[in-house]
A and B are shown apart, each in its own frame.
Chain A
């Protein structure tokens, strides 16, 4: 299955965790990036990327199909709609 989404998340955040579980439960193929685990240049690069999608730099940020749709915060209904779940 090809990757459909990238989830930018924090390992300690409950909303991020719920989003991750929701995607897993629906067999969505996604990359999960725990931004709080990144340091230095790696963190900077990822934050620059997230900033393009979500200037508030808040989490979770879900990037669907390479940026076709951006979902900020765990909004179950928006995720269902974007991914036809």
Chain B
């Protein structure tokens, strides 16, 4: 890649793909931008964009379920209007104001290998 990827560029790139499918970025940019920055940190660290709010095993095949957009995003959006980390939300969720939101973890703990 010739030009360095930034959170802002990633935002624009993914928005085009995800929004038409009904997955919106959280309008609270104090959440969205740091999460996108963290995805880029994880890309550097592990080679793939592991969910910033989960503990990666560091092996793509063993973290497949938490590569963003994670396997748990769609059911979480359906049930809570937001994904676990808060990056993706529904259109309706963005129409309301939200304080601190903490939804339950759906990833089975057995997926964390030690």
Range of interface residues on chain B? 20 to 34
Q: Does residue B94 face the partner (Cβ distance < 8 Å to A)?
A: no
Instruction: Kindly provide the distance from the CB of B23 to the nearest chain A CB, expressed in whole angstroms.
Output: 18
Q: Does residue A58 face the partner (Cβ distance < 8 Å to B)?
A: yes
Contact A58 B34 (CB under 8 A): no
Contact A59 B114 (CB under 8 A): no
Give the distance in Å from the alpha carbon of A27 to the alpha carbon of B54 in the complex.
27
Instruction: Kindly provide the distance from the CB of B88 to the nearest chain A CB, expressed in whole angstroms.
Output: 13
**Which residues in window 30-68 of B have CB below 8 A to A?**
31, 34-35, 38, 41-42, 52-56
Contact B109 A55 (CB under 8 A): yes
Contact B112 A57 (CB under 8 A): yes
Give the distance in Å from the alpha carbon of A59 to the alpha carbon of B38 in the complex.
15
Contact B31 A14 (CB under 8 A): yes
Range of interface residues on chain A? 20 to 34
If A55-B109, A57-B109 touch, does A10 touch B100 (CB 8 Å cutoff)? no
Q: Contact partner of A75 among B35, B52, B102, CB < 8 A? A: B102
In the complex, chain B residues whose CB is within 8 Å of the CB of A14: 31, 34-35, 38, 52-53, 85-86
In the complex, chain B residues whose CB is within 8 Å of the CB of A18: 100
In the complex, chain B residues whose CB is within 8 Å of the CB of A59: 53-55
Contact B102 A56 (CB under 8 A): no
Instruction: Kindly provide the distance from the CB of B49 to the nearest chain A CB, expressed in whole angstroms.
Output: 11
